[in-house]
Amino acid sequence: MNSISPQVIEDLRKLWSAIATKSHPPVRALVIASANPLVYCAGADIKAFTTMDETSGAQMVNDAHALFRELGSGQVATIAAVNGLAFGGGCELAMACDVRIAARSAVFGQPEIKLGIIPGFGGTQRLPRLIGAGRALEMNAMGDPILADEALDLGLVNRLVDDHELLDTALQWARKLAAQAPLALAAVKRIGSHPPGNLDDGIEAEKRAFADVFTSSDAREGISAFLGKRPPRFQGS
Confidence of residue 194 (pLDDT cuts 50, 70, 90): low
Confidence of residue 24 (pLDDT cuts 50, 70, 90): confident
- Specify the pLDDT at position 44: 86
- Report the C-alpha gap between 206 and 47 in whole angstroms: 45
Give per-residue pLDDT as tens, 114-171. 999 999 999 999 999 999 999 999 999 999 999 999 999 999 999 999 999 999 999 9
- Specify the pLDDT at position 193: 73
Give per-residue pLDDT as tens, 85-126. 999 999 999 999 999 999 999 999 999 999 999 999 999 999
Catalytic residues: 92, 112
CB-based contact 91:4 (threshold 8 Å): no
CA distances from 44 to 86, 118, 232 (A): 11, 12, 42
- Report the C-alpha gap between 102 and 94 in whole angstroms: 10
* Per-residue 3-state assignment (H helix, E strand, C coil) for 39-67: EEECCECHHHHHCCCHHHHHHHHHHHHHH
- Specify the pLDDT at position 68: 96
Confidence of residue 195 (pLDDT cuts 50, 70, 90): low
Sign of the Cα torsion 158, 162, 163, 167 reads: negative
Give per-residue pLDDT as tens, 78-92. 999 999 999 999 999
- Specify the pLDDT at position 171: 98
Confidence of residue 198 (pLDDT cuts 50, 70, 90): confident
Check pLDDT > 70 for residue 196.
no
CB-based contact 168:159 (threshold 8 Å): no
What rounded mean pLDDT belongs to the chain? 93
What is the pTM for the complete model shown? 0.93
- Specify the pLDDT at position 142: 98
With a pLDDT cut of 90, the percent of the chain lying above it is 81
